[in-house]
Amino acid sequence: MRKAQKKQIEELLALLEQAHSEVKRFAENKDFGEAMDLLGQCQNSAVQVGEWIEKTEGEGAPTIAKLEEYCETLYEIHEELASDTVSVPAKIYKRLQKSLIQAENSVKNDIKIRLEMVFLPYKASMWDSLESIWMAADADPDCDAYVVPIPYYDKNQDGSFGALHYEGDRFPDDVPVIHYDDYDIKNREPDAVFIHNPYDQYNRVTSVDPRFYSFELKKSTECLVYVPYFSTSGGMSAGQASCMAYYFADYIVIQAEKFRKFYDPELPQEKLVPLGSPKFDKVIRLCQNPPEPPEAWKERMAGRKVYFYNTSINGLLGDTERFMRKMEYVFQCFAKCEQACLLWRPHPLLESTINSMRPEFMPVYQKLRQYFIENNLGIYDDTPEIEPTIALCDAYIGDEATSVTALFGAAEKEIFILNNQIDSEPGEEDWRGEVIQEFNRYGNGRYMVTQGNKLYYAENGDYQYRYSCDLCEYSGGNYYLPWVVSVQGRDYVCPRNGQEILFLKEGKVAEHIKLERQIEQSGAFCGAVGYGNYLLLIPDRYPAIVRYDTLTGGIYYIKDYLDVFSDETKGVRRTGSVCVWKEYLLFASPVNNYVAALHVPFGRIKLMTTGAENVCGCSSMVSDGEDVWLLPYEGYTITRWNPETGEVWEYDCKVEGLQCRNPVCGYECDMRPFGFPAVLEDALYLPPYWGNLYLCLDKNTGEIKVWELPRELKRNTRNGYYPPEGEVAAFLQIDGDKAGIRWQLNTYADHKLYDINLRSEEWEEISIGFLSEELGQQEKGFDRISEWSMYAARENAFNTLSDFLNGTLSGCPYEKARAGQEFAKITANSDGTCGAKTYEFIRDKLAET
């Protein structure tokens, strides 16, 4: 019997209890006619309940016999009242209650609830996110589980609906699919509805039929459950924090407890249930007993190691031109390696995304796909399910930020993360792009944190670095603890992704200073500044400015006005800029003319405004002692502001020939024209950021002119081993230069450093040195990349894709046991029981209501 039906019966029997009290009252008042009439109504209700039970439980249901006994009691009392031989009214009441209670107990104990659960996938390729829950529900004899694939639309560029799709015919043969027109969810009112699309109308690429938006489904069910269509290797994008369905779902299945803080904090915490991912269940099951490969694949796979190549949507949208060139490079590498078999499986929505968001690249993509297929470069996999393919593969290559890496983690198979910027073999000097990082203007040039979060130290301050120590256990990039800042002669490594500070002594880590752990995602901080005795950490996603007193060890968290420094415009999140001005650390807004001013010694913060008409936000900020100079995020107007007097001047720095270009996407714009400037007594020297010119601003006259460099800067960016930075450069002030005329220029495009006298315009390139043997020895190979990434190896100048195919990677070799241990840290129920545990959880919650 359905839960709603049983509840209705229980409610009706409860009404009979109330009727018994009325019968007693009528009998006490000698109003036997009213009492007999009410007994007749009780009998009619009991008969109706019996008929309902007979339809669902059969004629032999024990409860029917109890109801018949109850009806007999009703008849006996009716006859007594009719013959005026009634006994004490209280005894009538007890007889009625005793008989009814036996029927109620039988309803409670003898009638089992049959749950009805419906699963509403829309893409067959994403069925794995629900399948193991359905299997558990379908295996329960007390649950009716239905699979009802729902239709979806492509979206046109203007957001309107395009082609309609229905994939009900693409599900596995053992899944009994019901057409959505044949399942009337409004009339059936299932106990639980499971969905894996959280976006409703807010997906830019596709949309399920509006009848199946979450707010519509919630009208027809007691329990709406969202199960992510993706799995994660440790991190989640900001776009997954607050999807529409979250606010209508009763429960959201999350992969592990650690992911709770990724979600909108406004969501009730009881909604988030850390049970794992059903996607892992299937891949674990299939890897234990791999399926037979399709006939067309067998010859190509025979005797070869099979590499799964994943081309993801995130990679496509990040830099589409580079993404296409990367695909071509991958195909070329495999064409040269006879012992390797490339299995290419594009994301199921890749072509839809190109059509919708990058239509100009569709001919390029189609040409690459045709080249791959016609030249028989490998296996083109367009099968509806990914897990059987994973079970047949030996290793993964592709993007990091995709759920497929997590599936390979569950399968305990090799993962090699590709760098989509790289489309050629490395040259002799290309290690510089990986090793030499930008110099922090508030940092300490005697240290450099480089690949694998390793600390290198130039003991004599001559930029000749030697390996010092590892800063953390993670091998990915240098993003965990990237900056070293000196405060009162003491050196501190400051976090970006981490949430701790490291104190250095003689080039080694002497102390770990733990911060309050506030977030479970990357990008906690975006910089660090030393002032007096204090070290200040500049927040990115961390919910506070951190002031660490290096003398007392006290940590103070300032949480006011953080929205000034971090804001969103045109759908893009930005962070502003900071600078020290007198006793204050100023935080400028990236979208308007607001400035938060933190009085460092007292830890008090107040809100100010520059009063400038230019309100497009600040990308860089510097003080000359009295005034503060704010460089624009958009446009070419530089603001000069005196926080004490409130005076403000604005300078239009648009000169002939000045252009800005987005270095990733390549389009022209008016964004971030200037890099961090050099401030002299009478001039401001402006290097480019996304702009293309070096400029000089006369502080006295306001005249702006092109600064012709006294020497040509030779760029060394022949390929993707150097990040696409454009012409980005920044000035760094040299400690001890009282005249303020000697500066260093850090050019990001080629990762070089120059010593410049801005008066005499004497230039000298600073030699930045590493020992090549040390760099090779410190390459980690297979390791845990970060808190938010899998156990894997990464493509770089030291470990190329060709090295991976040929088995010649540097560093640690792959260890299957280690892979399993690391995977267990990022998912609950890593033994493949997520689906069963999820079904049991929902079943038990339904029983409680």
- pLDDT at residue 713 is higher than 90: no
Tokens 């929902």, residue located: 842
- pLDDT at residue 30 is higher than 70: yes
| List of long-range contacts for 492-495, beta carbons under 8 Å, 24+ apart | 492/528, 492/535, 492/548, 492/550, 493/447, 493/449, 493/455, 494/525, 494/528, 494/535, 494/537, 495/524, 495/525, 495/537
Residue (of 825, 789, 797) closest to 396 by Cα position: 789
Residue (of 664, 792, 677, 812) closest to 733 by Cα position: 677
Residue (of 735, 645, 653) closest to 693 by Cα position: 653
Q: What is the pLDDT of residue 678?
A: 94
Rounded CA separation 197/263 (Å): 16
Tokens found for residue 169 = 């015919």
Task: Give me the count of residues in the chain.
Answer: 849
Tokens found for residue 634 = 């958009």
Q: What is the pLDDT of residue 571?
A: 67
Tokens found for residue 353 = 């995304």
For 342, 563, 605, 640, the CA distances from 594, given in Å and listed in that order, are: 53, 10, 13, 14
**In this structure, which amino acid lies at residue 443?**
G
Highest mean pLDDT among 65-69, 210-214, 347-351, 733-737: 210-214
Give me the mean pLDDT over the 380-394 stretch. Answer: 91
Q: DSSP assignment of 128-191, as one string?
A: HHHHHHHHHHHH-TTEEEEE----EEEE-TTS-EEEEE--GGGS-TTS-B--GGG--HHHH--S
Q: What is the pLDDT of residue 205?
A: 86
Give me the mean pLDDT over the 376-399 stretch. Answer: 93
Q: Which range is least confidently modeled, 418-427, 444-453, 591-600? A: 444-453
For 122, 770, 837, the CA distances from 194, given in Å and listed in that order, are: 11, 56, 15
- Could you say which DSSP state residue 197 is in? -
Tokens found for residue 699 = 């502080």
Instruction: Return the higher-pLDDT residue of 688 and 735.
Output: 688
Give me the mean pLDDT over the 66-79 stretch. Answer: 91
Instruction: Return the higher-pLDDT residue of 450 and 251.
Output: 251
Q: What is the pLDDT of residue 59?
A: 85
- pLDDT at residue 117 is higher than 90: yes
Q: What is the pLDDT of residue 737?
A: 67
- pLDDT at residue 534 is higher than 90: yes
**In this structure, which amino acid lies at residue 674?**
F
For 7, 60, 102, 520, 631, the CA distances from 111, given in Å and listed in that order, are: 11, 12, 13, 46, 74
Rounded CA separation 656/709 (Å): 17
pLDDT tens-place string over residues 496-509: 999 999 999 988 99
Confidence of residue 378 (pLDDT cuts 50, 70, 90): very high
Q: What is the pLDDT of residue 477?
A: 66
Tokens found for residue 52 = 């309902």
CB–CB of 398/297 below 8 Å? Answer: no
Rounded CA separation 175/171 (Å): 7
Confidence of residue 715 (pLDDT cuts 50, 70, 90): low
Confidence of residue 451 (pLDDT cuts 50, 70, 90): confident
Q: What is the pLDDT of residue 725?
A: 65
DSSP SS3 for 453: coil
Q: What is the pLDDT of residue 709?
A: 85
pLDDT tens-place string over residues 724-770: 666 789 999 887 666 688 999 998 888 889 999 999 889 999 999 99
Q: CB neighbours of 248 closer than 8 A, spacing ≥ 6?
A: 214, 215, 217, 218, 224
Rounded CA separation 825/256 (Å): 9
- Residue 742, beta-bridge partner list: 757
Q: What is the pLDDT of residue 359?
A: 92
Rounded CA separation 124/170 (Å): 6
Other C-beta atoms lying within 10 Å of the C-beta of residue 645: 9
Residue (of 800, 801, 783) closest to 792 by Cα position: 783
Query: What is the number of alpha carbons within 13 Å of residue 451 lying toward its C-beta?
Result: 25
Confidence of residue 478 (pLDDT cuts 50, 70, 90): low
Q: What is the pLDDT of residue 45?
A: 92
Rounded CA separation 587/548 (Å): 18
**How distant is the alpha carbon of residue 430 from its chain centre?**
31
- Could you say which DSSP state residue 347 is in? -
Confidence of residue 356 (pLDDT cuts 50, 70, 90): confident
Q: What is the pLDDT of residue 181?
A: 96
Residue (of 140, 144, 138, 120) closest to 130 by Cα position: 120
Give me the mean pLDDT over the 771-787 stretch. Answer: 87
Query: What share of the chain has pLDDT > 90, as a percent?
Result: 68
Rounded CA separation 117/846 (Å): 11
Q: What is the pLDDT of residue 566?
A: 85
Give me the mean pLDDT over the 30-39 stretch. Answer: 89
Q: DSSP assignment of 523-577, as one string?
A: --EEEEEEETTEEEEEESSSSSEEEEETTT--EEEE-TTHHHHEEEETTEEEE-E
Give me the mean pLDDT over the 166-188 stretch. Answer: 95
Confidence of residue 294 (pLDDT cuts 50, 70, 90): very high
Q: CB neighbours of 707 closer than 8 A, spacing ≥ 6?
A: 685, 686, 693, 694, 695, 696
Rounded CA separation 610/621 (Å): 12
Q: What is the pLDDT of residue 442?
A: 78
Q: DSSP assignment of 721-732, as one string?
A: TS---TT-EEEE
Confidence of residue 690 (pLDDT cuts 50, 70, 90): very high
